[in-house]
């Protein structure tokens, strides 16, 4: 059984529709889906706020590379264009963690190399997995400690909304 933590985000077109498309495509593989969070853009590019969420899924037929390919297929289906680093996007699907695998491969770095710096990844993840942890610099660190260690402005830029990826 392969278990993945996906961070999803969108700030183009209808962001909520894009996020829900991920949950719909994953179907019964979804174990948990966080609330939707409104997030200030990260990386210094002027653009509208993002909607972000975390999805935890399992599939016995997918390994970490399979999850990466599936995420890229979902981005492509949402007409994702990579024009500017940290720029606006219709859909971003990042593999944050996959079975606790550590990989330095340039195409699939695990855990996600900047997840520990991003409140928009950590806050929704903690909502659906309060015991979440990441390997950072070779040590396993609780996600709640990583979130607490971020600059307050980074944490305050992530606001939980009433929006949901799935019906209650």
Q: Is there a catalytic annotation at residue 28?
A: no
CA pair distance 73, 129, nearest whole angstrom = 26
Burial of 40 (0-12, 13-18, 19+ CB in 10 A): middle
Catalytic residue among 3, 49, 63, 80: 80
Q: Is there a catalytic annotation at residue 61?
A: no
CA pair distance 5, 67, nearest whole angstrom = 10
Catalytic residue among 20, 29, 92, 97: 92
Instruction: Determine contact, residues 111/97, Cβ cutoff 8 Å.
Output: yes
Q: Is there a catalytic annotation at residue 49?
A: no
Q: What is the DSSP letter of 13?
A: S
Query: Which positions ≥6 away from 104 have C-beta within 8 Å?
Result: none
> Helices in the chain by DSSP H: which ranges?
15-26, 64-77, 119-128, 143-148, 152-156
Q: Is there a catalytic annotation at residue 89?
A: yes
Catalytic residue among 20, 89, 97, 118: 89
Instruction: Determine contact, residues 118/136, Cβ cutoff 8 Å.
Output: no
Residues involved in catalysis: 80, 89, 92, 94
């Amino acid at each position: 059984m392969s278990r993945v933590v996906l961070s999803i985000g969108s700030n183009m077109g209808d962001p909520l529709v894009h996020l829900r498309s991920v949950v719909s495509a994953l179907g019964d593989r979804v174990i948990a889906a966080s609330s939707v969070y409104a997030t200030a853009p990260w990386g210094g590019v002027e653009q509208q706020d993002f909607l972000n969420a975390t999805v935890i899924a399992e599939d016995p037929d997918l390994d970490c590379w399979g999850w990466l390919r599936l995420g890229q297929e979902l981005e492509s289906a949402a007409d994702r264009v990579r024009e500017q680093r940290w720029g606006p996007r219709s859909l971003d699907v990042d593999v944050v963690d996959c079975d606790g695998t550590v990989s330095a491969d340039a195409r699939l770095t695990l855990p996600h190399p900047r997840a520990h710096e991003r409140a928009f990844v950590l806050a929704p993840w903690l909502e659906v997995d309060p015991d979440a942890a990441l390997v950072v610099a070779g040590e396993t660190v609780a996600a709640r400690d990583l979130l607490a260690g971020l600059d307050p402005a980074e944490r305050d830029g992530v606001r939980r909304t009433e929006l949901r990826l799935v019906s209650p």
